[in-house]
Structure 1
Amino acid sequence: MKLFNEKIFNPYWVVGFVDGEGCFSVGVYKNQTLRLGYQVQLEFSITQHKRDHDLLLQFIEFFGCGYVASDGPLKFKYLVRDLSDLNRVIIPFFQSYPLRTVKQLDFNSFASVATMMNDKKHLTEQGLLDIQQIKGCMNRNRIFESPNK
């Protein structure tokens, strides 16, 4: 079974586009209705100016999941937050077609949190702490060694 519709986009083009415009993020939000008082939410997104709204809609067709939502007056986002869609489509796609930039490190962290959630570790105090630590080292918070060292 194909995880994506190759008639919409070439998968290598998608990888390049996501390398430049995509984001893999882990959110940890207060939620007093949960036992630990926190909720973990994974999100894969691609943000574009509103003039490229139709392009974002094609990602829904390509991946067969997700949705497009407004992200302010001038932007829209293609979003996938459903853990089953992330596990079934998004993570396997980027495992088969790896990213080419340092964004691959964020994807690796994202996928490891998904595995922890599949194993219900996010429902334990230690698991939640581990996820918060991973989250704290992703995206703009990632620290790189200087190449001159």
Structure 2
Amino acid sequence: MNNKLLYNSNILYPQWVVGFIDGEGCFHISVSKNSTMKLGYQVTLEFSITQHIRDKELMHKLVVFFGCGYVSSDTSNKLQFRIRNRNDLAKYLFPFMDNNLLLTTKALDYADFKRVHAMLDNREHLTPEGLDLIRKIAASTNRGRK
């Protein structure tokens, strides 16, 4: 697939974006109670970048750059760019990240995030063993990483 179709480099430079993600991005894996789910838990994936509200224009440029996601208020003075849709993660974020490698330990968080995404695609979260593994992966990412 042609990289020009994956993101809009007329908006932001791809290497700047990947560096910004290295410093400010978050690959979040959530396991929360939901009685409507088979095992009583729901697994949610979210990629986000949080910034002060003064950088609102930049946050909206990220939506245009990736061709997906949205901007929401985190607090009265913070905004978040978020991608939660699993199809958008696979179609837009993953190809970009795979072609523009992170340089910090955040690369490990991305690898775990992508691994859990594949587990969801394979419906592994619907088994007690799969759900337990996802919980362990989630606990070892971001601030839980040693």
Give the TM-score taking structure 2 as reference length.
0.96
Alignment of 1:129-148 (within 5 A): 129-143=132-146
Deviation at 1:10, TM superposition (A): 1.0
**1:116 matched to which residue of 2?**
119
Aligned position for 1:57: 60
| Distance in 2, Cα, partners of 1:91 & 1:128 | 22
Quote how far apart the aligned CAs of 1:120 are: 1.0
Rounded to whole Å, the distance in 1 between the matches of 2:15 and 2:126 is 36
After the TM superposition, list the runs of 4 or more consecutive aligned residues in structure 1 that deviate by more than 4 angstroms.
none
| Paired residues, number | 143
Unmatched runs of 5 consecutive residues or more in structure 2: none
1:84 equivalent to 2:112? Answer no
Q: CA deviation at 1:126?
A: 1.1
* CA distance, structure 1, for counterparts of residue 12 and residue 61 of structure 2: 8
AA at the equivalent of 1:55: L
Identity %: 48
Distance 2:40 2:105 in 1: 32
Q: Secondary structure at the match of 2:75?
A: coil
Task: Structure 1: give runs of 5+ residues left out of the alignment.
Answer: 144-149
Once the two structures are TM-superposed, the CA of residue 50 in structure 1 deviates from its matched residue by 0.5
Residue identity in the other structure for 2:34: N
Whether 1:34 and 2:37 are equivalent positions in the alignment is yes
Q: Distance in 1 between matches of 2:122 and 2:92?
A: 18
Q: Using the alignment, how far apart are the partners of 1:48 and 1:55 within structure 2?
A: 9
1:93 aligns with 2:96: yes
Partner of 1:22: 25
